[in-house]
Structure 1
Amino acid sequence: MKLGSIGTAMVTPFNEDGKIDYEVTTLLINHLIDNGTNSLIVNGTTGESPTLSEEEKERLLVHTISIVNGRIPVIAGTGSNDTQASIRATKRAELLGADGVMLVVPYYNKPDQNGMYEHFKTIAENTSLPILLYNIPGRSGVNLSAETVIRLSKITNIEAVKEASGDLAQMAAIIEGTDDTFSVYSGDDALTLPLLAIGGEGVISVSSHIAGLEMQRMIADFRNGNTASAATHHQILMPLFHAVFSKPNPVPIKYLLKRAGLPVGDVRLPLVGIAGEDTYLNLTMQTFKQQFDSKRE
C-alpha cells in the first residue's frame, strides 16, 4: 500500500440541509491533491463516519474514487467494533474499487490483545485489499500493543498502522519489530517529524487540508538531510497543529477550510460547529501564513 508521506483523513462536506455536498467534495479532492496529499482516507473519524449511513459511505467512496481517477490511492474506513459488519463493509469497499481499507481498533467493547488480533486477522482473511490498522486509544478505550501489531504485520495484506497513541516508544518498538515492507504512520500531526526521526513513514493528517505543501516541505527537508530547516518548519507548524485539535475534530478544520474559501459546511450532531468568528483559529492561521511566507522570501 503506497500511501506516500501524507495521507489526508478527508472531511465530509455537507450542504445547508446537512446532506453530503458532492460538488464541494469534488473541489476538496482536487484541492487536496494539488496541495500535497499523497493518498486520501474516506469515511474516517475526520469524515464524521459515525454519523454517515452505510448508503452515504458507499456513495461518498464511489464519488471520491471517480474524481481521483487513479491519481492517488483512496483508502476506505471500514472498521467498527463489530467484526462481521467490518467484513461486510470491507468487501463492499473492495467491490467498489477502493485501493485499501483502514480498520480502527474496536471501540466500546474493549477487547483484549488476543481479541484484537483475531478481529483484524479475520477481516484480513476476507479481503485481498491492503489493510491500514488504526490505533487510537483515546477513542477506542484500548491500546493495540506493539507486540500485537508486530504479530499482525506477519499477515500478508496487513501492511501499515496509523499510530495515534502518542507513544513514540511504542512506535519505535513497532518499527524495530516489523520488516521493511510494513509502514508506521503518525496519527498525530504534531508527531510527524519525531516519527520520521525514528524511522516512520509519514502521517495520516488532518492539518494537511490547509498546510499540506508546508508539511511536505518539512518532510522533504528532513529526508534530504536538512534537519535544521525541517525543525524550523516543525516549529512554525506546531501552533497550527494544536489549533486544529483545539475543539472536537473536525470542527476546527472545517472552520478553517471555510475561511480559506472551501464551503465544506458544518458538522453533524452530536458535534456542534463554531458560531461566528473564532479569534484564536483566525490568528493562528494568519500567523502561520505570515511565517511561511517570510521563509519563502
Structure 2
Amino acid sequence: MKLGRVITAMVTPFDEKGKVDHEQLKPLIDTLITRGTEGIVIGGTTGESATLSMQEKADLYRAGVEAAAGRIPVIAGTGMNDTHATAELSRQAEKDGVDGVMLVAPYYNKPSQQGMYEHFRAIAEKIDIPVMIYNVPGRTMVNILPETTIALSHIPNITAVKEASGNLDQMSAIIAGTSHDFQVYSGDDSLTLPAAAVGADGIVSVSSHIIGSEMQEMLRHYHDGRTEQAAALHRKLVPFMHAMFLAPSPTPVKTALSMQGVQVGGVRLPLIPLNEEERRLVSEAMDAVTGINPTHLR
C-alpha cells in the first residue's frame, strides 16, 4: 500500500458535550483532501486515542472508513501498551475496513528492544493488513532502535514506520537497512524537507490539517530538483509548524481549524483549551503562513 507523501494524523472531532462527532468526519476529511492529504491516521495519538474508549475507537474507525469512501487510505491508530488489547483492536479495525493500522511503541512499560520486536510481531501476525510502526520516544520513553525497525521490516505486513525520534541519523540508518518497498515517514513536521533529503517517503503530519497544500508544494519542488524553492518554502513553514506544538497537541491545530470555521470541537481532559496569549500566537502564525485573518477568535 503506497500512501503518498503527505499523510495527516487526523484530529477527532468532538461535539459541544465532548462526545465523538461522527457527522463532522466527512467535512473534515473533505477539507484535508482538498489540502493535499493523501491518507489519514484516524484515532491515533493526535486523535486523542488515550482518552477514547475501545468502543469509541471501533465506532470511529468504522465511521472514518465510511466518510473517506475509498478516496484515500484510512489507517487506524490502534497502538496501545497492552499487546493483547492492541491485537484485538487491530483485528476489529481490519473487520471495519481500514486500509492499515499504526502501532505506537508501548508507552510506560519501557520494554526492551526484544520486547518491542515481540510486541509488534505478535500484533502483525494477527492481521493481514499493512502495519506502520510509530516511534515517538518523547511520548513513550522508549526509542525503537534502527536495528529493531530493520528486523521488523522483514515481517511481511510491517510495511512502514513513522519515525518521530527527531534523529536524522537514525532515520538514515533505517532507510539504508530496509528494502526499497519499506516506507519511512518523518513524524516531525519541521523535518519534512530534511527527511526527504535523506530518502524518506514523506511525512505523517499535524500541520497538514492547515498547510497540507504548501507541504505538498515544498516536496514537489524538492523532488523536481528545485531545491532552492523547496528550502525557501521550508523556512516559511517552519514557524507555523512550531506554533502547532506551542501547547500539547492537538490543542493548537484544533484551535487553528476552528478559526477557519472547520468544526472539530475542543479537547478532552487532561488537555485544556489554549489561553488568550496562545490563541494570539496561533492566529499570528496562521496569518503569516496562509494570509488568513481568523474571525472566530473568542
Other structure's SS at 1:128 match: coil
1:160 is the counterpart of 2:160:
yes
TM-score (ref. length: structure 2): 0.96
Task: Check the 8 A contact 2:137/2:143 in 1, yes or no.
Answer: yes
- CA offset at residue 67 of structure 1? 1.3
Alpha carbons 1:9, 1:206 under 8 Å: kept: yes
**Aligned AA for 1:286?**
D
The answer for the alignment partner of 2:9 in structure 1 is 9
What's 1:295 paired with?
none
**Superposition TM-score, scaled by structure 1 size:** 0.96
Alignment of 1:1-297 (within 5 A): 1-276=1-276, 278-290=279-291
Contact 2:135 2:143 in 1 (8 A): yes
The secondary structure found in structure 1 opposite 2:7 is strand
Post-superposition Cα deviations, 1:250-278, rounded to whole Å, max 9, x if no partner, equal 01000000001112111000000124572
After superposition, what is the alpha-carbon deviation per residue over 1:6-31, rounded to whole angstroms, capped at 9, x for unaligned?
11000011111111112222210110
SS at match of 2:160: strand
Q: Is the 8 A contact 2:76 2:101 kept in 1?
A: yes
| CA displacement 1:154-183 (0-9 Å, x = unmatched) | 111000100000000000000000010101
The list of structure 1 runs, each at least 4 consecutive aligned residues, that deviate by more than 3 angstroms after superposition, is none
C-alpha RMSD of matched pairs (Å): 1.1
Query: Gaps spanning 5+ residues in structure 2: where?
Result: 293-298
Task: Give 1:280 deviation, angstroms.
Answer: 1.1
Q: Distance in 1 between matches of 2:144 and 2:276?
A: 39
Alignment-mate amino acid for residue 135 of structure 2: N
Is the CA contact 1:106–1:140 (under 8 Å) kept in the aligned structure 2? yes
For residues 275 and 140 of structure 2, what CA distance do their matches in structure 1 show?
A: 29
Q: Distance in 1 between matches of 2:60 and 2:26?
A: 10
Judge which range, 150-159 or 55-64, deviates more.
55-64
TM-aligned CA deviation for residue 62 of structure 1: 0.9
Kindly provide the amino acid, as one letter, of the partner of residue 274 in structure 2.
I
The alpha-carbon deviation at position 60 of structure 1 amounts to: 1.2
SS at match of 1:115: helix
Instruction: Indicate the SS of the match to 1:191.
Output: helix
Alpha-carbon displacement from aligned partner over 1:172-218 (angstroms, at most 9, x marks no partner)? 00000001010110000000000000000000000000001000000
Instruction: Tell me how far 1:233 sits from its aligned partner.
Output: 0.8
Count of residues in Structure 1 that have an aligned counterpart in Structure 2? 291
**Following the alignment from structure 2 to structure 1, what is the Cα–Cα distance between the partners of residues 257 and 230?**
25
Encode CA deviations 1:33-63: one digit per residue, 9 max, x unaligned: 1110000100111100011111111111111
Given residue 287 of structure 1, which amino acid in structure 2 is its aligned partner?
A
Contact preservation (8 Å) 1:2, 1:73: no
> What residue ranges of structure 1 are gaps of 5+ in the alignment?
292-297
Distance 1:125 1:61 in 2: 20
Q: What displacement does 1:225 show? A: 0.5
